[in-house]
Chains A and B, each alone.
Chain A
Amino acid sequence: MKQSGKLLSFLGIAVLTLSISILLILMVGSNVNQAFFSFLSGIFGSFYSVSEVMVKATPLILTGLGVAVGSRSGFINIGAEGQLYMGAIAVTGIAFWLHDLPAIVMIPLVILGGFVFGGVWSVIPGFLKARFGISEVITTLMFNYIALGIVGILVRTWLKDPSSSLPMSAFLPDAATLPIILSSTRLHAGLLVALISVVIIWLLVWKTPAGYEMRAVGLNPRACMCSGISVYKNILRSSLISGGLAGIAGVCEVTGLHHKLLEGISPGYGYIAIIVALLGKNHPVGVVISALGIAALQVGSLGMQRMAGVPTSISSIIMGVVVLLILARKSIFRRLLTDE
């Protein structure tokens, strides 16, 4: 009975979200049928549009996975955006510095570099939280803006392409670009990197003692302290992995998609990642599904704007509304959930 109540409450959220979307579409004065058709055809209409969903899902899977690992041990990482940019800085720096390396060495090296840069950017707030109890929410948020500032400065000074007037770096050497895995689309090997990371994280966090400790710290830090599991060490560990994954997301975006460093690599992936992790219940498989879902929502809303004239900001509204409803679920559907 409880289980079906839970199911019904999520169904209720879906219905509410759908009604709000219909209301918004009616407010623009568009035809609801046409809007939904254009939404779906924006996602499934062509081979290319489906591949676009996966292109958008790649950074969301990686950053979402990072946020999920952090949340599992109680580290609320709002800083995936900044960590992503730090990863992007790392890959650009390494690729230009060691430009003679062959791809077989270069690719693993830049991924490692992105992991380290993103990880360091997250382990500092992690250290401040674990050692001194300073809230990671504000520190990670501030680190986002510092990272963005550093990127802005770099693409105008040291890493600037001298042959261009725009604030961006030169194209990376060929050895530092990920191959396209589906011809005539933008889908690059970053998706494979993301999926491999999902498997590794699942093994690490769910199948090893170290992962068990990290999850235990998230569930009950006091009990861990009493039974000899170091809260300090595990928060450091999970914040490092959390930021590292976001850093890899930055690496994939630069090496797979843009092939250079510029300021607009991420349209807020790091913030959407928090929603991805929440919807995916902080589980690797859930993260993949919700990342694909949110990517589809964004790609579909582009189609809806093109064909039905509904502004794309509807996708941002829907994301916000879904999260708010999920947060309020237990109160809205209290009857359903407490029924014997």
Chain B
Amino acid sequence: MDSGFIALVTIYLIDSVRMATPLILAGLGEAVSEKAGILNIGVEAIMLSGAFFSFIVSFFTGNLYLGLLAGIAGGIFVSMIHGVLSIHCKANQTIAGLALNFMVMGLTSFLFLIVFGQTTTLPSCSVFSEVKIPLLWHIPIIGPALFNQNLFVYIALISIVLTAFFFYKTEWGVNLHAVGEHPQAANSAGLNVFAIRYFACFVNGVLGGLGGASITLGQLGFFMENVTSGRGYIALVAVILGRRNPIGILAAAMVIGFSQALQYNFQTLGFPIPTQVFSMFPYVVAVIVLFLSIGKSIDPSALGVPFERNKR
């Protein structure tokens, strides 16, 4: 094969993995949440909060790891608000998620303006640098894409394995599934439906916060208003495309990441194709996949339905 071609493929693969990382992290979190029956369309809010707090803390402390923890905390905070509303208050989960998007979007840009004021140059912090994994790094094509990346990529890859193991090989995964499919039956079988759902929200917060932090601390090194720019919604699409299966989410996120990488390159190279073709690509694919999967029930039966212990 042509060595130039291999180099090109490698570059695109590296870019795709980078673009896919926030989507994988947030998507896995949302998958856990949806498996337990909590549909949270506030992923955008979770990620934005994670991105904001991770940046603020690492900017003022200069410590990226503290920033990472703050990002996780920010994600958990938003996700738990959604959890309390949908589990304790039995509110409409869609509207709660939407309201959180509005609130966090406003709050992060509000706080950012208070802290930094109107600036012409964006304040910036350092980002996690690439870490080469010995030996594995030398594998052609996939080596540089998977094993010469920053911390977030490794966390995302490990999370995929952990979530897959958790979903399909542990009793916890079965419980999670039961709570999402038939909470009444799960309750009768002695499971604590509320606790399991809160746990799912917690995981969603951790992973979504990490996803947000991976944007500010892994890619950009700065924060600005609406820095996630809809990645939370794309993560929702990745979950649907990947059918809440960790490997599926990885595949979906990679496809989306690849189309984003193409989009940026076409933009810089000045091709006469509108970039919107690429930005709407994941959504079109997701709709086609939905049409193709008609007839197979793929949603957890109790998705979006609040559980009330004394009701049938």
Binding site for B on A (CB under 8 A): 24, 27-28, 76, 78, 128, 132-135, 137-139, 141-143, 145-146, 148-150, 152-153, 156-157, 271, 274-275, 278, 311, 313-321, 323-324, 327-328, 330-331
Contact = CB atoms under 8 A, between A and B. Distances in A.
Interface in B6-47: 39, 41
Given A132-B294, A156-B274, A317 B107 contact: yes
Given A137-B304, A139-B287, A311-B110, A323 B233 contact: no
B123 to A, nearest CB: 17
What are the 10 closest A-B residue pairs judged by CB atoms, nearest first?
Answer: A320-B103, A149-B280, A316-B106, A152-B276, A323-B99, A317-B106, A327-B91, A320-B102, A313-B106, A149-B276
Contacts of A148: 276, 280
B136 interface: no
Interface in B70-125: 81, 84-85, 88-89, 91-92, 94-96, 98-107, 109-110, 113-114
8 contacts: A28-B114, A76-B94, A138-B236, A142-B287, A149-B279, A320-B104, A320-B106, A327-B91
Contacts of B280: 145-146, 148-150, 152
Nearest to A135: B299
A67 B304 CA distance: 18
A237 B41 CA distance: 26
A271 B101 CA distance: 10
Nearest to B285: A142
Contact of A324 (B96, B283, B294, B297): B96
A135 B106 contact: no
B303 interface: yes
B42 to A, nearest CB: 10
Contacts of B294: 128, 132, 134
Nearest to B88: A331
B201 interface: no
B286 interface: yes
B110 A134 contact: no
- Of B81, B85, B95, B100, chain A has the most CB atoms within 10 Å of the CB of B95
Contacts of B96: 323-324, 327
A336 to B, nearest CB: 15
A24 B107 CA distance: 9
A316 B105 CA distance: 7
B157 interface: no
Given A132-B294, A137-B304, A320 B92 contact: no
A313 B109 contact: yes
Contacts of B84: 328
Interface string B269-312: 00000111101100110110010001101010001100000000
Contacts of B110: 24, 311, 313-314, 317
Nearest to B111: A27
A311 B109 contact: yes
Contact of A142 (B95, B277, B283): B283
B85 A324 contact: yes
B89 A275 contact: no
A146 B284 contact: yes
Contacts of A315: 106
A243 B119 CA distance: 41
B114 A327 contact: no
A324 B81 contact: yes
Nearest to B293: A134
B252 interface: no
B274 A274 contact: no
B240 interface: yes
A134 B290 contact: yes
B159 to A, nearest CB: 22
A128 B290 contact: yes
Given A142-B287, A313-B110, A318-B106, 20 more contacts: A76-B94, A78-B94, A137-B304, A138-B236, A142-B240, A142-B286, A145-B279, A146-B283, A149-B279, A271-B102, A275-B99, A278-B95, A311-B110, A313-B109, A313-B225, A315-B106, A317-B106, A323-B98, A327-B85, A327-B89
A321 B102 CA distance: 9
A78 B275 CA distance: 25
Interface in B229-279: 230, 233, 236-237, 240, 274-277, 279
A317 B103 contact: yes
A150 to B, nearest CB: 7
A271 to B, nearest CB: 6
Nearest to A327: B91
B95 A274 contact: yes
